[in-house]
């Protein structure tokens, strides 16, 4: 079978598996729809959390970013990984102890305010739609190449699959589907990495191959070769950074605290039976996440080495289009690779200066990696299935947050308190269906490449939810007026900064024009600081939280005995 047939087979089998699990685990109550009945074992919840959190940005785009940016791309690796540690240690056990369904539920009750709840709902929907745009873009990229359909059709197929198991199964169906998706995803990520590590360095483990010498007998270290050819071709050294220190810090911190404020990840800690199970599932998730994240830098270096060699040839003089490897022509059909023969010599040449004739979308690097390395067709098809699994797993979690925010937080807890459980479940499914349609539109018309869109979502979460949650847990005095003022100011500032530099005046999107040298990807950190400052200032001049709320915060932080509710 050729690659396309293998892709149809493997992706089709994975879809059948996901749909079968959704039918088996369909939700019959709001408790099952929102938090899977609160009975998911810690190890399975850890696996589902890892799949939920490792989105298309992690699977498809992160290694591509590192491959193109080198050292500068490490900010994404450090920020996302560090953020999960922060979430596991500082937030997960306390939120589970609180025992609510959603983040807006926590904020509404902790800050004793329907206004706070409504603001949190708006923030959750805004963040999730920004995030899901990147996921649907990832689905479109995968399908456009491997199923040879256009990106619009690819997004529509992904929408149909997500619609089925999100609307039918809710959190229960999503949880067990994500366990299967993690297995598909991690197998698809590791197999080509191990193959290519053996080919390039002779090491089975990609993590050790990353720092090893090449297996061609040259006795040159892989990273030394990348530094050498990068300088020859007009790029910066692969192992040196060009970003300012302040921007590196702000991007890393925005991704870190944004992770700890993402509603679709936080809700996963409500699906386990006990508080101690939340801690255990956080530990398991961190282990499962580490498998992919320690492999990503190796995969990025392998992909860049092979890409430069196949485009420019072993003598670094370029390759004629007729002799170009098949992967270039395959991806050229998708529009994600373009060749402009500037000097009319019939040769393709990839460089970092005026000699460059290639425009390569960084989102293709992980997906194209097996083709670049001439791996077997079944490996190429497996990577396609992994990319789809990564995008769909996170899309489902995000769409469920949007659904529950509308049906539970906005309707049941605010506008329609007398609604029946059956009616609430119906509104949840309707909201999920509408959210999928909107998400599909964003996938067809994405504002940027996958990881960049996701970075914006993390910045929005950092500037809105993270301060409100942290203050809600660790500051007994913080009141509703301060929290709401902080959330609104933080997210409006961050969103305005991103929109201005990315959409209104993209020509000013450079280090000289940024405030304090902070890029739009890192502005969430400043938004977070503004949120904290406004919240504490307003709270200082207004009455403290009621005594019963302060006692509730005390119980969350220092429980006399663990409760299972």
Q: What is the DSSP string of 201-237?
A: HS-SSHHHHTTSBPTTTT--BHHHHHHHHHHHTTPPP
Range of the domain at 230: 3-303+375-557
Residue 381: inside a domain, yes or no?
A: yes
CATH code, domain carrying 50: 1.20.1730.10
Q: Is the pLDDT of residue 184 over 50?
A: yes
Residue 330: inside a domain, yes or no?
A: no
Q: Whose CA is closest to 53, among 276, 255, 192, 190?
A: 255
Q: Give the pLDDT score at 399.
A: 78
HEC letters along 384-421: HHHHHHHHHHHHHHHHHHHHHHHHHHHHHHHHCCCCCH
Q: How large is the average pLDDT for residues 386-405?
A: 78
Total tally of structural domains belonging to the chain:
1
pLDDT: which is higher, 481 or 26 = 481
pLDDT per residue as tens digits for the range 454-466: 667 788 888 998 8
Q: Is the pLDDT of residue 483 over 50?
A: yes
Q: Give the pLDDT score at 539.
A: 95
pLDDT per residue as tens digits for the range 545-554: 999 999 888 8
CA-CA distance, 554 to 558, in Å (whole number)?
Answer: 6
Per-residue pLDDT band for 169 (boundaries 50, 70, 90) equals low
Residue percentage of the chain with pLDDT more than 90: 24
Residue 338: inside a domain, yes or no?
A: no
Residue 353: inside a domain, yes or no?
A: no
Q: Give the pLDDT score at 518.
A: 92
pLDDT: which is higher, 261 or 531 = 531
Query: Is beta strand 337-339 parallel, antiparallel or unpaired with respect to 347-348?
Result: unpaired
Residue 209: inside a domain, yes or no?
A: yes
- Exposed, middle or buried: residue 451 (CB in 10 Å: 0-12, 13-18, 19+)? buried
Q: Give the pLDDT score at 563.
A: 43
Per-residue pLDDT band for 561 (boundaries 50, 70, 90) equals very low
Q: How large is the average pLDDT for residues 281-287?
A: 85
Q: Give the predicted TM-score (pTM) of the model.
A: 0.81
pLDDT: which is higher, 542 or 450 = 542
Q: Is the pLDDT of residue 224 over 80?
A: yes
Q: Give the pLDDT score at 564.
A: 43
Residue 146: inside a domain, yes or no?
A: yes
Residue 110: inside a domain, yes or no?
A: yes
| Contact call for residues 469 and 267 (beta carbons, < 8 A) | no
pLDDT: which is higher, 33 or 423 = 423
Query: Is beta strand 347-348 parallel, antiparallel or unpaired with respect to 358-360?
Result: unpaired
Residue 366: inside a domain, yes or no?
A: no
Q: Give the pLDDT score at 401.
A: 78
pLDDT per residue as tens digits for the range 396-449: 777 777 887 888 778 887 788 888 878 887 888 888 788 888 878 877 776 555
């Amino acid at each position: 079978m050729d690659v396309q047939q293998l892709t149809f087979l493997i992706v089709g089998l994975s879809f059948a598996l996901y749909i079968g699990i959704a039918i088996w685990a369909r939700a019959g109550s709001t408790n099952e729809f929102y938090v899977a009945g609160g009975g998911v074992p810690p190890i399975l919840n850890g696996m589902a959390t890892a799949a939920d959190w490792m989105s298309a940005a992690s699977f498809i785009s992160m290694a591509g970013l590192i491959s193109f940016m080198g050292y500068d791309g490490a900010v994404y690796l450090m920020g996302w990984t560090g953020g999960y540690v922060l979430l596991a240690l500082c937030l997960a056990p306390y939120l589970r102890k609180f025992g609510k369904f959603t983040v807006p539920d926590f904020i509404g009750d902790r800050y004793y305010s329907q206004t706070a709840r409504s603001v949190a709902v708006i923030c959750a929907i805004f963040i999730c739609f920004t995030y899901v745009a990147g996921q649907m873009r990832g689905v479109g990229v995968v399908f456009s190449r491997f199923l040879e359909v256009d990106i619009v059709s690819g997004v529509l197929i992904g929408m149909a699959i997500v619609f089925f198991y999100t609307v039918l199964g809710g959190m229960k169906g999503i949880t067990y589907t994500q366990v299967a998706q993690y297995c598909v995803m991690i197998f698809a990520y590791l197999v080509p990495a191990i193959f290519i590590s053996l080919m390039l360095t002779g090491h089975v483990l990609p993590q050790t191959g990353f720092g090893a010498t090449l297996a061609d007998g040259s006795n040159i270290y892989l990273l030394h070769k990348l530094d050498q050819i990068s300088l020859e071709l007009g790029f910066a050294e692969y192992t040196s950074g060009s970003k300012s220190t302040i921007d590196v810090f702000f991007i890393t911190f925005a991704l870190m605290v944004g992770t700890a404020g993402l509603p679709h990840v936080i809700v996963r800690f409500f699906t386990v039976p006990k508080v101690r199970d939340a801690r255990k599932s956080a530990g398991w998730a961190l282990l499962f996440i580490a498998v992919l994240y320690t492999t990503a830098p190796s995969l990025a270096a392998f992909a860049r080495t092979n890409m430069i060699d196949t485009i420019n040839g072993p003598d670094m003089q370029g390759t004629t289009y007729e002799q170009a490897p098949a992967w270039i022509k395959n991806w050229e059909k998708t529009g994600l690779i373009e060749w402009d023969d500037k000097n009319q010599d019939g040769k393709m040449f990839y460089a970092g200066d005026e000699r460059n004739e290639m425009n390569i979308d960084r989102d293709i690097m992980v997906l194209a990696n097996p083709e670049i390395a001439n791996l077997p067709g079944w490996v190429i098809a497996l990577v396609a299935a992994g990319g789809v699994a990564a995008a769909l797993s996170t899309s489902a979690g995000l769409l469920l947050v949007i659904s529950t925010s509308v049906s539970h937080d906005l309707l049941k807890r605010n506008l329609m308190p007398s609604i029946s459980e059956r009616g609430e479940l119906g509104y949840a499914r309707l909201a999920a269906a509408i959210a999928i349609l909107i998400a599909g539109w964003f996938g067809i018309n994405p504002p940027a490449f996958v990881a960049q869109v996701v970075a914006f979502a993390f910045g929005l979460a950092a500037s809105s939810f993270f301060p409100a949650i942290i203050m809600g847990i660790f500051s007994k005095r913080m009141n509703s007026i301060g929290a709401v003022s902080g959330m609104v100011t933080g997210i409006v500032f961050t969103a305005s900064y991103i929109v201005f530099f990315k959409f209104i005046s993209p020509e000013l999107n450079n280090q000289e024009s940024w405030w304090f040298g902070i890029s739009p990807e890192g502005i969430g950190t400043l938004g977070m600081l503004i949120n904290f400052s406004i919240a504490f200032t307003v709270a200082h001049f207004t009455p403290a939280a009621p005594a019963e709320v302060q006692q509730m915060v005390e119980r969350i932080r220092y429980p006399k005995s663990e409760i299972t509710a």
